Structure 1
Amino acid sequence: MVSTAPLVVLGEVRTCLLPTAGALTRDEARELLTLMPGREVRWRERPGTLAISPTVAVGVDCDLPMGEDAARIVGTVATRVVLVGGRVLQSSARTRVVRAGERRRQTWSHYISQKGVTEVISRLPERATAEILLAEGYLVGGDRPEVLDMASISERLLGRVRADERLDQSPPIHAGGTRLRWIARVRGQVGPTVQLRLDDDTTRTVRLILREESDLDAAQRFCEDLAAHDWLLTIMAAAFEEADRFGGASRERLDILGPLLQHVTGLWMPGAHTPQSMRALWKELQTEPGFSRQWTTLTDRLRDNVSVAMLDTLRHKAFDTDW
Structure 2
Amino acid sequence: MAPRESTPRAVLACGEVRTCLLPARQALDSRSAAQLLALRADERVLLSERPGLYARSPDTLTGVDCPLPSANGARIRAVGTVTAHAALTEGRVLQTSAHFRLPATGPDQRRPWGEYLVRPGVVEPLGRPSHEAVARGVLGGPRHGDLDVGLIADGLLTRLLRHALLDQRPPFRSRPTRLRWVALPADPGAGPSIERFTLAEEELRTVRLRVPEQVTGAGLAALCDDLALHDWLLTTVVRMLDGLRLGAGAAEDATAVVKALRPAVDHLLHLWMPRARVAGELAPLWDPLEERPGFTRQWQALVQRIRDQLTLHAIPAPHREVEAVP
Q: TM-score, normalised by structure 1?
A: 0.90
Aligned partner letter, 1:95: F
Matched to 2:296, the amino acid is: S
Deviations 1:58-77, CA, capped at 9 Å, x for gaps: 11111123313222111111
User: How many residues align structurally?
Assistant: 310
The amino acid across from 2:137 in the alignment is: G
**Bigger share in helix:** 1
> Cα distance, 1:78 vs. partner?
0.3
Residue 11 of structure 1 and its aligned partner are, at CA, apart by 0.6
User: In structure 2, the residue corresponding to 1:273 is in which secondary structure?
Assistant: coil
Contact 1:79/1:91 (<8 A) preserved: yes
User: Percent identity, aligned pairs only?
Assistant: 36
**What secondary structure sits across from 1:70 in the alignment?**
coil
Which of 86, 92, 97 does residue 97 from structure 2 map onto? 92
Q: Is the 8 A contact 1:254 1:310 kept in 2?
A: no
Equivalent residue number for residue 236 of structure 2:
235
Give the CA deviation at 1:245.
8.9
The within-5 A match list for 1:130-145 is 130-144=130-144
Q: Distance in 1 between matches of 2:148 and 2:86?
A: 18
Counterparts of 1:221 and 1:110, CA distance in 2: 26
Query: 1:209 Cα shift?
Result: 0.9
The one-character-per-residue Cα deviations of 1:191-232 (angstroms, maximum 9, x if unpaired) are 210131111221111111111333432221111011000000
What is residue 127 of structure 1 aligned with on the other side? none
The separation in 1 between residues aligned to 2:62 and 2:181, in whole angstroms, is: 18
Map of 1:50 onto structure 2: 54
Preserved contact between residue 100 and residue 121 of structure 2 (Cα < 8 Å): yes
Task: Extract unaligned runs of 5+ from structure 1.
Answer: 125-129
- Indicate whether 1:122 and 2:127 are aligned: yes
State the partner residue of 1:193.
Answer: 193
Amino acid at match of 2:89: V
> Is 1:182 aligned to 2:187, yes or no?
no
| Contact 1:141–1:147, Cα closer than 8 Å, also in 2 | no
Contact 1:103/1:122 (<8 A) preserved: yes
Cα distance change on mapping 1:78 and 1:283 into 2, 3 Å: same
Which amino acid is the alignment partner of residue 240 of structure 1? Answer: L
Aligned to 2:163: 164
The Cα of 1:247 is off from its aligned counterpart by: 4.2
Shift of residue 157, structure 1, vs aligned partner? 0.4
8 Å CA contact 2:68, 2:147 repeated in 1: yes
Question: For 1:121 and 1:280, how far apart are their aligned partners in 2?
Answer: 35
TM-score, structure 2 as length reference: 0.89
Are the equivalent residues in 2 in contact too, given 1:247–1:253 (CA < 8 A)?
no
Match of 2:139, SS state, is helix
1:209 counterpart = 2:210:
yes
Report the CA distance between 1:45 and its aligned residue: 1.1
Runs of 4+ in 1 over 6 A off after TM superposition: none
In structure 1, how many angstroms separate the alpha carbons of the residues matched to 2:97 and 2:210?
19
Q: Which residue of 1 aligns with 2:227?
A: 226
For 1:147, the equivalent position in structure 2 comes to 146
C-alpha contact (below 8 Å) 2:107/2:127 kept by paired residues: no
Q: Does structure 2 conserve the Cα–Cα contact (< 8 Å) formed by 1:99 and 1:121?
A: no
Provide the alpha-carbon RMSD of the alignment: 2.1
Alignment partner, residue 108 of structure 2: 103
Contact 1:19 1:167 in 2 (8 A): yes
Deviation per CA, 1:87-134, whole angstroms, max 9, x where unpaired? 11000101011245421112222222221111101343xxxxx22111
Give the letter for the 2:224 counterpart.
C
For residue 164 of structure 1, report the CA deviation from its aligned partner.
0.4
Kept after mapping to 1: 8 A contact 2:20/2:176: yes
Matching residue of 1:79: 84
Q: CA deviation at 1:263?
A: 1.2
One-letter amino acid of the structure 2 residue matched with residue 102 of structure 1: P
